[in-house]
Structure 1
Amino acid sequence: MTEVLFYHLQNMTLEGVLPPLLEKSLERGWRVVVQSTSEERADALDAHLWTYRDDSFLPHATWRVADVADQPIVLTVEESNPNAANVRFLVDNALLPLDSNTYERMVLVFNGDDTDALAAARSAWTDCKTRGFDVTYWQADERGRWQRRQ
């Protein structure tokens, strides 16, 4: 069964949250695809992942590269799964893909200060529950550590 995690960003940015979540996915041996809603945003995330920390390397590429199938992390704007990922991150209000049930885990990261993002997350939550996915909601505490909420 697909596990779906909803990460509610408040007083945090995607650029600050995404790299550690991707690192944890790689540590577990998972392949990852990150879907955004625009090429510009995917390109900005691509640039950020190369420079977000001086002492770390996060191997990734965009969907445009010739060896996309070999990449551990792929940034895309499409619904495809070009690297046979186990985990799919949906950012910037990207919609649930039609093949959602083929992933071990999906992670929806949404901006809690954006009413459109909140509405999209609520709709996705209902859709995931209807499909019978194992759904959890996560919010950062005052120290910035993720806590599962009910």
Structure 2
Amino acid sequence: MAEVLFYHLTESRLEDALPELLQRSLARGWRVVVQCTSEERRDSLDNVLWTFSEESFLPHGTDAEAHPESQPILLTTRADQFANKPDVRFMVDGATPGDLTGYIRGVYMFDAFDTDQMAHAREQWQVEKSAGHEVTYWQQSEDRRWIKKR
């Protein structure tokens, strides 16, 4: 079973929080797929990952480009995208994955100010818990640190 984390964005935008979590995943030697709900969002995050920091670089690509299998981080809109053999699957903006069994970790990131994303996260919590995955909930503190909640 996968470890499934729910990250509740209360103090920052996805574009600010996602790169750090992706860096942590790569530091652990994990390959990652980030599932978006639209091609526009996928392409926007692609741009963010190229420009989020002058000091670091996140090797990545999209499934609209050649050789998705070679990308350590692959951005996609498809729930069935496994070309880069990911260990971790991030779901953003209310994306719904397929079965997370076989992943080390699944990560849902949702915006506190988007009622649709909040409702989707609640639904997915029940889905993942019912599937037998270990689920945990994380919320940002005022200083944007992640605090595990019970």
Same fold by TM (over 0.5)? yes
More moved, 134-143 vs 23-32: 134-143
Establish whether residue 77 from structure 1 lines up as the match of residue 77 from structure 2. Answer: yes
SS at match of 2:96: coil
Q: What residue number does 2:48 align with?
A: 48
Counterpart of 1:28?
Answer: 28
SS at match of 2:127: helix
Correspondence for 1:113: 113
Aligned partners of 1:92 and 1:141: how far apart in 2?
20
Measure the CA separation in 2 of the matches of 1:143 and 1:111: 16
Residues 96, 124 of structure 1: 8 Å contact kept: no
Q: What is residue 90 of structure 1 aligned with on the other side? A: 91
Q: What's the TM-score once normalised by structure 1's chain length?
A: 0.97
Number of the residue aligned with 1:132: 132
Counterpart-to-counterpart distance in 2, 1:135 and 1:144: 21
Kindly state the Cα deviation for residue 96 of structure 1 after the two structures are TM-superposed. Answer: 2.5
Runs (5+) with no aligned partner, structure 2: none
Displacement, 1:143?
1.5
Deviation of 1:66 after TM superposition, in Å, equals 1.9
- Is the Cα contact below 8 Å between 1:8 and 1:139 reproduced in 2? yes
SS at match of 1:19: helix
CA distance in 2, matches of 1:116, 1:36: 15
Moved beyond 2 Å, runs of 4+:
none
CA contact (8 A) 2:11 2:140 kept: no
Distance apart, 1:44 and its partner CA? 0.4
- Separation of aligned partners in 1, 2:66 and 2:117: 33
Percent of aligned pairs with the same amino acid: 51
Give the gaps of 5 or more residues in structure 1.
none
Distance 2:101 2:8 in 1: 22
CA RMSD of aligned residues (A): 0.8
How high is the TM-score relative to the length of structure 2?
Answer: 0.97
Cα offset for 1:69? Answer: 0.5
Tell me how many residue pairs correspond in the alignment.
149
Question: Could you say which residue in structure 2 is the equivalent of 1:15?
Answer: 15
Deviation of 1:113 (Å): 1.1
Shift, 1:84, TM fit: 0.4
SS of 1:59 mapped into structure 2: coil
* Equivalent pair of 2:11/2:144 in contact (CA under 8 Å): no
Note the alpha carbon deviations across 1:30-87, whole angstroms, 9 max, x for none: 0000000000000000011000000111000001222110110000000121100000
Name the residue aligned to 2:4: 4
Task: Kindly state the Cα deviation for residue 100 of structure 1 after the two structures are TM-superposed.
Answer: 1.3
Check conservation: 2:74, 2:84, Cα contact below 8 A.
Answer: yes
